A and B are shown apart, each in its own frame.
Chain A
Amino acid sequence: AQTVTQSQPEMSVQEAETVTLSCTYDTSESDYYLFWYKQPPSRQMILVIRQEAYKQQNATENRFSVNFQKAAKSFSLKISDSQLGDAAMYFCAYRGYNTDKLIFGTGTRLQVFP
């Protein structure tokens, strides 16, 4: 069975600095999808960024980018120029190629200090 591990329960960063959140996963599949979701305090969970395993190029969305290392089964999220609004729980998620279900990690709480 696939698993997703987020080894950092909490992280903190100074405003305008860069922070990297770690995610590793275990799978025997060769094709799959990876996602990072953000859940601000008392607000809706939203998609931050997504990556197809067959694409070698790392996905980017404005200040958010991933470092996807397929061989190492690693999918870290880098947030550049951190803002106070980036403070949230961040969840890494995996979806196999032929399934509709997501497998989530346990989350990383990110604090941003002014």
Chain B
Amino acid sequence: DVKVTQSSRYLVKRTGEKVFLECVQDMDHENMFWYRQDPGLGLRLIYFSYDVKMKEKGDIPEGYSVSREKKERFSLILESASTNQTSMYLCASSFRIRRDGNQPQHFGDGTRLSIL
């Protein structure tokens, strides 16, 4: 079974802090994703990585950055946390579509982040 592990289930930080959310997958997936989930808004893509050191902005990248130094690990960074970044953050991974277009994304448990 695919395992996508997010480092924390719950996290509380203060405004202005630099926050790191870590995600690790064990299926040799090329793609990794960071989403933000808010009630009534569904899942919105923050950043996407299709290879080591490669990244693409998603729909809401402002205030965030990412790092992918190893294939299995994808980090989301809040450079200076603000209260409007309080949310649920979901990491996902998948194979690239060239392997099999029908491949789904596999999700971690999520990190509920509160910025005070």
Contact = CB atoms under 8 A, between A and B. Distances in A.
Given A104-B43, A105-B42, A33 B102 contact: yes
19 contacts: A6-B42, A33-B101, A44-B107, A45-B90, A45-B107, A46-B107, A47-B106, A52-B102, A91-B42, A91-B43, A95-B97, A98-B97, A99-B97, A100-B31, A101-B45, A101-B48, A104-B43, A106-B42, A107-B42
A106 B107 contact: no
Interface of B: 31, 33, 40-45, 48, 50, 58, 90, 94, 96-97, 101-102, 104-110
Interface in A13-67: 33, 35, 37, 43-47, 50, 52
Given A100-B31, A100-B94, A101-B45, A47 B40 contact: no
Given A33-B102, A97-B101, A104 B42 contact: yes
A45 B61 CA distance: 22
Nearest to B107: A45
A102 interface: yes
Nearest to A49: B104
A91 B110 CA distance: 15
Interface string A1-20: 00000100100000000000
Given A95-B101, A101-B58, 17 more contacts: A33-B101, A44-B107, A44-B108, A45-B107, A47-B106, A50-B104, A52-B101, A97-B97, A98-B97, A100-B94, A100-B96, A101-B33, A101-B45, A101-B48, A102-B43, A102-B45, A106-B40
